[in-house]
Amino acid sequence: MSIWSRLFHRREMDAELDEEIRSHLSMAQRDRMDRGESESDASINARREFGNVLLVKETTRDMWGWTVVENFTRDLRHALRQLKKHLGFTAVAVGTLALGIGSTTAMFSVVKGVLLEPLQYRDPSRLFLAYARFPLLTWQKGPVNARHFHEWRTRCRACEFVAMVDGVAFGVAGRGEPRGVAGLRVSANLFRTLGVVPALGRDFLPEEELPGRSDVILISDALWQELFGRDPSALGQTLNLDGVPVRIVGVMPASLHLPKGAEWGTLIGMTQKPEIFRPLGLDVSQARALGAFDYISVVRLKKDASPREAQAEMSALSGELVRPFKIEVGAVLAPMHDEVTGGARQALLLLLGAVGAVLLIVCVNIGNLMLVRTSARYREAGIRIALGAARVALFRLVLCEALVLIVLGGVAGVGLAQLGVRAFVAAAPVDVPRLDEVGIDWGVIAFAAGSAAVAGLVCGLFPAWRLSRTPPLHSVKSASPQSTEGRSKLRLREWMVSAEVGISTVLLIAGGLLGLSFLRLIHVDKGFETEHIITQAFGLTSTKYRADDVQFRFLDRMMREIDAIPGVEHAGLTSQLPLRGESFIDTLQDFNQPAEAERRPYSANYRFVSADYWRALGVPLRQGRYIEERDYDRNVVVVSDKVVALLWPGENPLGKHLRMLTLVRNPVGFEPKRLPGGDIDFHAMEVVGVVADTREGALNREPPAVVYAPYRFQAVGWGSFVLRTQGDPVAAISQVRAAIARQDPEMPLPPAETMEEILDRSVAVRRFELNLAAAFGVAALALASLGIYGVISFSVTRRTPELGIRIALGASTGKLMASVLRQGMMPVLLGMAAGLVAALMLGRLIASQLYGISANDPLTISTVSGLLLLVALGACWIPARRAARIDPVRTLRFE
Amino acid sequence: MTKRYQNRIELLQGTLDMLILQTLRWGPQHGYGIAAAIRAGSQEVLQVETGSLYPALHRMEKQGWVKSEWKQTDNNQRAKFYNLTAAGRKHLAAEQSRWHQMTGAIAGLMNRGEA
């Protein structure tokens, strides 16, 4: 008979056993009566001879072989009955557990998807990103040059493949509205390097990398869906890319996850996923060895090669190339996975730590509740043990209750995690890498089960162990509801309070530090204003803008049109807005002191602007004057404070000259304009004004040196219009967009953005971190205060008779309250002290996420401590008040 | 309570099974009858406790050495009768030879000690 059919027949078998024993007894009785005993004596003696009927049944049932299951189901039923009886307790316990497990699991699935999962390429551990080390420009990990790439690809013996990419925004026309699509210009072997093959069509051929052959593209699955509705006839069709017809030769699989924007490293400024891939269109073997360090390189090592060996080899190859210039350029390799996720690693791990700490508090809290509940059952346990219940059975009983709670909480938690992950992905700023790869899978569920198991141990094992150790006699005698309880049990709960307070202290300090950093950060002197300012970016990428004059004509006409828009106070033009990243970086040198430049190799960000740019953006003038329209064709510059501090400290910068070169566009990028003899054409640029430093990169980075030249000095190919408006900025910007469309109906335009939006986005990751940290901190505080309240309130209930007697004997209410408060606050103070020590020790973990304050900022620490004390005091106050109001007559009547 | 059993012999592990099977050799019997037969057969020296008897019967039934059926006794009392199966007979034979070996060995040892 299988165990299940046995379970089915359980009732029958029980009945049969009953009858068997009954027949035994009646036969024994009959025999005794036959021997002359009276009927009643015979009955009694037969029973006595038989022994303990229940025990015989029990041991016989054991032989049926499924007592483990039976015991379990009995315990389970008992636990369910208990939990149903205390529905409030159950709801609170399951709810908090679900929240704790759910948030931990959600956070873990994010961490797993982003940090732990290998990149979804073939053999991803062999993939590295290569950077240029360029000591002269103080580059540790700079972008790479095409010629260096060529040497690496053809001669590096430790590398299986070396590929190169460059981010571009393509203007796509010829299918629907013209619009901008993020894309990559790639070496023909990029996808072979990654180990990805097109889902449809073919990969690039090596010769398609060369100029004149590169009018082919691969598109992403998403773009295939969007433009062609997944129609396979898309293959061979042409799209208009920046005015050039290109042929689609393949579609990449939907599973292709390429890094976005900054995940490629420092250079690629776009934030959307790349959707179009086009070969470089460049003969890299003919590229110059210096200049145009514009690319990111992806390296796949050979199976047995070490990155160190490849790096040495590549550095030697680069060194060989630049030897004629008497400078040093090397290569640096970094694991691609680390590079792609690097920015988010620390923040995510911190958040996981925080959420884990909250789970710990949840467990301690529930363990506490269970302890309280088991204490109330102390007497029951004592009686059970006195009646012969096995201690193991009692242990099992309590553990079973915890188990039921955990299973319920765990299941609800996984459900919550599902929602949590969705909420996280929705709320997270775009900058969190690989977020589209996050999801709940078996690994995550295993983690949830693991954390539930740990939770179960913490909140079930302890109370179970405690209850099973109940000394029978003692408990029956002393644990009546009227007596005070043993000291040791109280101490255990006080420890739990200390632990909770300690963990909360750490979390709150971390949250407070992040919050304060955030405030400091958004109020930092940015060097420009953000209110009433709206911007419109544009790109002159189409082939028709190849000639500089065409670009300048477009810009001149646009500036005239914008100035005519009513309600615009100031309108300006810049090649790149602040907070959009450092770019167009070149050496910074005094024209008249070339020797100085070699001694101190400074660099600056170069911007090309119109006359009213600073007024539009609100960048204060420090000395001299802004550039004016009459300067547009003259060699003048305005510099930032930092430039003066670097080159001419303590001197008058006005009238000094900077050495600047002009760049010309080749099909691939920029290169210095040269004189007929081959020397670089340098210009002496007169400094006419000094403006405030502006934060160009991240808000938390010190502002770089910036040099502003008139926009006609250098054709860049992209830029932003900046408008300071009186009225509705959106109305003004729509007129700007209309004006652009009149000039060039094919130009794709990204959405307009106010400076406030740009600022907002630049701090989005921090704001997100801060919100999460604050939420965890508050949750921890709430849970901890609940825990404190629970413990103190319970102990007051238990002490009611004692307190009643004290009152009856004339103790003052103040004294009673003080005694309760003292009892409550001791573990709080202890936990807080431990938490402060831990926070100081853990401070360096969080230091890199802070701005403008140190990890042991006294203000934060004292504020948090004060807040915690206040909340703890409040949690103790309520039960203390209740203690003081005990009616002695009523409590004594209970005795 | 415990003193009452002091003069009785604790049955060796596994011996109870053998005694029960031996008792059942003469035909189907119920639990009470088995206990009575063992007690009578051993001149009241061996007292089988119900707390051992019934678990043993149920275990042996599960092992397939005995099977049970409900029947009327001579006194018209409904009772559960246990009956030896073929496997039970085989097991009994094996147990018996083991028992003889063991008692022989023990007897040899004890006699040598006395000599």
Confidence of residue A8 (pLDDT cuts 50, 70, 90): low
Q: Is B79–A62 a contact, with Cβ atoms under 8 angstroms apart? A: no
- φ, ψ at A246 (rounded to 5°): -130, 150
**Helix (H) / strand (E) containing A56:** helix A53-63
pLDDT digits (tens, 9 = 90+) for A290-322: 767 778 889 999 888 888 988 888 888 888 888
Stretch among A208-212, A495-499, A818-822, B9-13 having the lowest mean pLDDT: B9-13
pTM of the entire structure?
0.64
Q: Is B31–A64 a contact, with Cβ atoms under 8 angstroms apart? A: no
Mean pLDDT of A484-495: 63
Q: Is B79–A50 a contact, with Cβ atoms under 8 angstroms apart? A: no
Does residue A101 carry a pLDDT above 60? yes
Closest of A189, A187, A245, A180 to residue A216, by C-alpha: A245
| DSSP string covering B72-112 | E-TTS-EEEEEEE-HHHHHHHHHHHHHHHHHHHHHHHHHHH
The whole-number pLDDT of residue A249 equals 93
Stretch among A114-128, A418-432, A832-846, B48-62 having the lowest mean pLDDT: A418-432
Does residue A4 carry a pLDDT above 60? no
- Shortest distance between the Cα of B73 and any Cα of chain A, in A, equals 10
Stretch among A274-283, A433-442, A824-833 having the lowest mean pLDDT: A433-442
Stretch among A139-143, A401-405, A551-555, A577-581 having the lowest mean pLDDT: A139-143
The whole-number pLDDT of residue A541 equals 73
Strands (E), A96-143: 127-134, 139-142
How far apart, in whole angstroms, are the C-alpha atoms of residue B27 and residue A279? 96
- Shortest distance between the Cα of B98 and any Cα of chain A, in A, equals 25
Helical H runs in A484-630?
A: 487-522, 548-563, 594-599, 613-617
Does residue B41 carry a pLDDT above 50? yes
How far apart, in whole angstroms, are the C-alpha atoms of residue A641 and residue A584? 18
Residue A157 corresponds to which tokens in the numbers above?
A: 């013996």
Distances from the Cα of A764 to the Cα of A438, A581, A782, angstroms: 19, 15, 27
- Shortest distance between the Cα of A10 and any Cα of chain B, in A, equals 14
Chain B residue with the nearest C-alpha to that of A2: B62
Distances from the Cα of A167 to the Cα of A206, A260, A265, A597, angstroms: 20, 9, 11, 32
Q: What's the gap between Cα A215 and its chain centre?
A: 40
- Shortest distance between the Cα of A30 and any Cα of chain B, in A, equals 10
Distances from the Cα of A773 to the Cα of A353, A684, A765, angstroms: 10, 52, 12
Look-up: residue for tokens 């053809």? Answer: A154
Better-scored residue on pLDDT, A750 or A538 = A538
Given CB atoms, is A26 within the 8 Å cutoff of chain B? yes
The whole-number pLDDT of residue A673 equals 82
Tell the burial category of A662 from Cβ atoms under 10 Å away from its Cβ (0-12, 13-18, 19+).
middle
Does residue A521 carry a pLDDT above 70? yes
Nearest by CB to B59, from A21, A51, A63: name it.
A63
Stretch among A170-179, A514-523, B34-43 having the lowest mean pLDDT: A170-179
How far apart, in whole angstroms, are the C-alpha atoms of residue A842 and residue A857? 13
Better-scored residue on pLDDT, A832 or A371 = A832
Tell me the chain B residues in contact with residue A52 when contact means C-beta distances shorter than 8 Å: 51
Most B-contacting residue of A24, A25, A31, A54 (CB-CB within 10 A), to test interface: A24
Does residue A479 carry a pLDDT above 70? no
Given CB atoms, is A64 within the 8 Å cutoff of chain B? yes
Residue A33: other Cβ atoms inside 10 A: 15
How far apart, in whole angstroms, are the C-alpha atoms of residue A739 and residue A741? 5
Beta strand A636-640 with A244-251 is unpaired
Beta strand A216-219 with A276-279 is antiparallel
3-class SS of residue A260: coil
Better-scored residue on pLDDT, A486 or A342 = A342
Closest of A519, A118, A511 to residue A351, by C-alpha: A511
Is residue A509 within 8 Å of A861, Cβ to Cβ? yes
Nearest by CB to B80, from A23, A26, A31: name it.
A23
- Shortest distance between the Cα of B37 and any Cα of chain A, in A, equals 13
Is residue B78 within 8 Å of A23, Cβ to Cβ? yes
Torsion angle of C-alpha atoms A593, A594, A596, A597, degrees rounded to 10 = 130
Does residue A168 carry a pLDDT above 80? no
Tell me the chain A residues in contact with residue B80 when contact means C-beta distances shorter than 8 Å: 16, 19-20, 23
Most B-contacting residue of A25, A33, A53, A56 (CB-CB within 10 A), to test interface: A56
Nearest by CB to B58, from A23, A55, A64: name it.
A64
Tell me the chain A residues in contact with residue B32 when contact means C-beta distances shorter than 8 Å: 23-24, 27-28
Closest of A588, A583, A558, A584 to residue A571, by C-alpha: A558
Stretch among A252-266, A357-371, A554-568, A837-851 having the lowest mean pLDDT: A252-266
Given CB atoms, is B80 within the 8 Å cutoff of chain A? yes
- φ, ψ at B75 (rounded to 5°): -90, 20
How far apart, in whole angstroms, are the C-alpha atoms of residue A663 and residue A58? 95
The whole-number pLDDT of residue A868 equals 87
Most A-contacting residue of B5, B32, B80 (CB-CB within 10 A), to test interface: B32
Most B-contacting residue of A13, A48, A54, A59 (CB-CB within 10 A), to test interface: A59
Confidence of residue A454 (pLDDT cuts 50, 70, 90): confident
Is residue A458 within 8 Å of A399, Cβ to Cβ? no
For helices A858-884 and A813-847, the axis angle rounded to 10 degrees is 150
The whole-number pLDDT of residue A508 equals 84
Does residue A640 carry a pLDDT above 90? yes
Distances from the Cα of A702 to the Cα of A2, A382, A472, B29, B39, angstroms: 75, 69, 71, 99, 101
Nearest by CB to B51, from A27, A56, A65: name it.
A56
Does residue A665 carry a pLDDT above 50? yes
- Shortest distance between the Cα of B26 and any Cα of chain A, in A, equals 20
Distances from the Cα of A418 to the Cα of A414, A450, A514, A864, A871, angstroms: 6, 17, 27, 32, 32
3-class SS of residue A637: strand
Q: What ipTM score was computed for the predicted complex, to two decimals?
A: 0.84
Confidence of residue B8 (pLDDT cuts 50, 70, 90): very low
The whole-number pLDDT of residue A481 equals 46
Mean pLDDT of B39-68: 85
Given CB atoms, is A31 within the 8 Å cutoff of chain B? yes
- Shortest distance between the Cα of A14 and any Cα of chain B, in A, equals 12
How far apart, in whole angstroms, are the C-alpha atoms of residue A169 and residue A719? 13
Residues 6+ apart with CB under 8 A from A426: none
Look-up: residue for tokens 């652009």? Answer: A740
How far apart, in whole angstroms, are the C-alpha atoms of residue A583 and residue A112? 33
Chain B residue with the nearest C-alpha to that of A50: B50
Is residue A291 within 8 Å of A671, Cβ to Cβ? yes
Mean pLDDT of A58-74: 72
Better-scored residue on pLDDT, B71 or B45 = B71
Task: Provide the β-strand partners of residue A144.
Answer: A295
Tell me the chain A residues in contact with residue B51 when contact means C-beta distances shorter than 8 Å: 51-52, 55-56, 59
Mean pLDDT of A153-173: 85
Better-scored residue on pLDDT, A535 or A66 = A535
pLDDT digits (tens, 9 = 90+) for A732-787: 888 888 899 888 887 877 788 888 888 887 777 777 777 777 777 777 888 778 77
Q: Is A20–B75 a contact, with Cβ atoms under 8 angstroms apart? A: no
Task: Quote the longest CA-to-CA distance of chain B.
Answer: 56
Does residue B16 carry a pLDDT above 50? yes
Length of chain A: 895
Residue A547 corresponds to which tokens in the numbers above?
A: 């000639």
Residues 6+ apart with CB under 8 A from A601: A136, A137, A138, A587
Mean pLDDT of A669-682: 78
Q: What's the gap between Cα A94 and its chain centre?
A: 27
The whole-number pLDDT of residue A397 equals 76
Half-sphere exposure of B94 (CA within 13 A, CB side): 9
How far apart, in whole angstroms, are the C-alpha atoms of residue A203 and residue A161? 15
Residue type for position B18 = M
| DSSP string covering A727-739 | S-HHHHHHHHHHH
Tell me the chain B residues in contact with residue A64 when contact means C-beta distances shorter than 8 Å: 58, 62
Given CB atoms, is B50 within the 8 Å cutoff of chain A? yes
- Shortest distance between the Cα of A831 and any Cα of chain B, in A, equals 55
Given CB atoms, is A33 within the 8 Å cutoff of chain B? no
Residue type for position A666 = N
The whole-number pLDDT of residue A722 equals 94
Mean pLDDT of B69-90: 89
Better-scored residue on pLDDT, A291 or B32 = B32
Most B-contacting residue of A60, A62, A67 (CB-CB within 10 A), to test interface: A60
Does residue B77 carry a pLDDT above 90? no
Residue A503 corresponds to which tokens in the numbers above?
A: 């963990």
Chain A residue with the nearest C-alpha to that of B4: A49
- φ, ψ at A572 (rounded to 5°): -135, 175
Residue A626 corresponds to which tokens in the numbers above?
A: 């802004």
Closest of A465, A326, A513, A401 to residue A97, by C-alpha: A401
pLDDT digits (tens, 9 = 90+) for A415-442: 888 888 887 777 776 556 676 667 677 7
pLDDT digits (tens, 9 = 90+) for A391-423: 667 777 777 888 888 888 888 888 888 888 887
Look-up: residue for tokens 């007897």? Answer: B107
Confidence of residue A487 (pLDDT cuts 50, 70, 90): low
For residue A457, give the DSSP letter: I
How far apart, in whole angstroms, are the C-alpha atoms of residue B71 and residue B68? 9
Closest of A661, A617, A649, A654 to residue A639, by C-alpha: A654
Closest of A107, A24, A241, A9 to residue A746, by C-alpha: A241
Nearest by CB to A28, from B32, B49, B58: name it.
B32
Tell the burial category of A766 from Cβ atoms under 10 Å away from its Cβ (0-12, 13-18, 19+).
buried
The whole-number pLDDT of residue A432 equals 64
Does residue A493 carry a pLDDT above 60? yes
Provide the chain B residues 13-32 that lie in CB contact (below 8 A) with chain A. Answer: 30-32
- φ, ψ at A127 (rounded to 5°): -95, 135
Is residue A114 within 8 Å of A438, Cβ to Cβ? yes
Stretch among A9-18, A423-432, A490-499, A524-533 having the lowest mean pLDDT: A423-432
Closest of A355, A346, A366, A342 to residue A447, by C-alpha: A355
pLDDT digits (tens, 9 = 90+) for A191-238: 999 988 999 999 999 889 888 888 899 999 888 988 888 899 989 888
How far apart, in whole angstroms, are the C-alpha atoms of residue A625 and residue A623? 6
- Shortest distance between the Cα of A6 and any Cα of chain B, in A, equals 12
Better-scored residue on pLDDT, A522 or A233 = A233
- Mean pLDDT over each residue of chain A, to the nearest integer: 81
What percent of chain A has a predicted confidence (pLDDT) above 90? 15
Most B-contacting residue of A21, A31, A63, A67 (CB-CB within 10 A), to test interface: A63
Stretch among A464-478, A551-565, A696-710 having the lowest mean pLDDT: A464-478
**Helix (H) / strand (E) containing A672:** strand A670-672
Confidence of residue A667 (pLDDT cuts 50, 70, 90): low
Residues 6+ apart with CB under 8 A from A527: A578, A619, A620, A640, A692, A693, A694, A695, A703
Closest of A866, A775, A784, A783 to residue A501, by C-alpha: A784
